[in-house]
Amino acid sequence: MNFRQLDLNLLRVLCAIHRTGSVTEAGRLLALSQSATSNALARLRHCFGDALYVRSPTGLHPTRLAQRVAPLVEAHLRELESQLCLGEDFDPADDCVHWRISLSDLGEMMFLPPLARLLRDAAPGCRLSNESIDAARVNAALEARVIDLAIGMLLPEHQGVESHLLFHERYVAVSDPGWRPVPAGAPGRLSRLQLTQAPLAVAAPSASLLGTVQRILQRLDIGSPPAVRLRHYGAIPDLVAGTDLVAVVPQMFADAMAARHGLQIWDLPEEAGYDVRMVWHRSVNDDPAQRWLREQVRRLFGVVMPHDTDASVGLPQAPRQTASRPAAASSSPSAAGLTG
């Protein structure tokens, strides 16, 4: 091949295809159309004089050349990025950085408003985007640097992806303040029988959340299907208010909705919950701007951890949370310069 004629931008496409085994998924990671990604692969094949990837029942299968070259390219690209960031300073008051994060619809409601407010105050020249990345593709998106970090019910499943436990969340039930369980029981807590007899509303914006709620109901021996199943949490307050519907939701969301809409919060018969983590790629560990952003996320939403060593850089910070969960977000503001 003639290396001097190789468009180095194509190497990111090579790495994305090697990681995903799919032209479509690689395009999504890189925010490229399928046709643009296919064209890039055709140019790579021409440059290397090799098919690089051939179709198989499980996706695109790398040739021997691709198996040898792609991991080397990816390692060198990460090292180059790491070296270019060495010695850089980040001044949030003056610098302009565009951070890309991944939040679910519930995460956008709970985490984006307070984070946006902090950035508008401390880093007014910076921008923030919540990218649409499926939970199953978050680790790959971090590796491809499509996103800088993600927050949610996530685990670092790829080598090089790191995580920080922010807090442990638990599920509760919410209802209209005038709703009363049948039969009557202990105030503020629902029994199995009361929950079985209540018409349930369950929000499941992702398969993982749906599976979690279903496991909770199965463990409580509640076999009847929900009266209402919806894809997003945003409609729950209007569904519950003024009706006999009872919704099973994370407590952070319940606290916020109770404050805004006057809903009643009930403990479930058994404790059930999940860990909320922040995940990012190891290649940005020493990037000052990325370190600063991670520190703000920890200070806003995390529990104080004695082993937390990813120190902040730059400006004064928000006070750290010391409770098991961060305070619920207040009403969502519109913030100029921030996109979701």
β-strand 127-130 against 161-175: which pairing, if any? unpaired
β-strand 264-266 against 161-175: which pairing, if any? antiparallel
pLDDT at 206: 60
| Phi (first) and psi of residue 76, to 5 degrees | -70, -40
pLDDT at 308: 45
| Phi (first) and psi of residue 214, to 5 degrees | -60, -40
Q: What is the amino acid identity at position 177?
A: P
DSSP string, 66-80: HHHHHHHHHHHHHHH
Which residue from 106, 92, 131, 83 is spatially nearest to 249, judged by alpha carbons?
Answer: 106
Q: Where are the beta strands (DSSP E) in the chain?
A: 53-56, 59-62, 98-102, 127-130, 149-152, 161-175, 200-203, 228-230, 246-250, 264-266, 273-281
Q: Could you tell me if 185 and 194 are in contact, meaning their C-beta atoms sit under 8 angstroms apart?
A: yes
Distance CA 326, CA 252 (A): 8
Q: Could you tell me if 63 and 53 are in contact, meaning their C-beta atoms sit under 8 angstroms apart?
A: yes
pLDDT tens for the 340 residues of the chain, in order: 666 677 888 988 998 898 888 999 888 878 889 999 999 999 999 888 899 999 988 889 999 999 999 888 888 877 776 666 555 688 999 999 999 999 988 899 999 999 999 999 999 999 999 988 888 889 888 988 889 999 998 888 777 899 999 999 999 999 999 999 998 888 999 999 999 999 999 887 664 554 577 777 888 777 778 899 888 888 999 999 999 999 999 999 999 999 999 999 999 998 888 899 999 999 889 889 999 999 999 999 997 544 444 433 333 344 444 445 665 554 333 333 333 3
Instruction: Give the DSSP H/E element, type plus range, for residue 41.
Output: helix 34-48
pLDDT at 87: 56
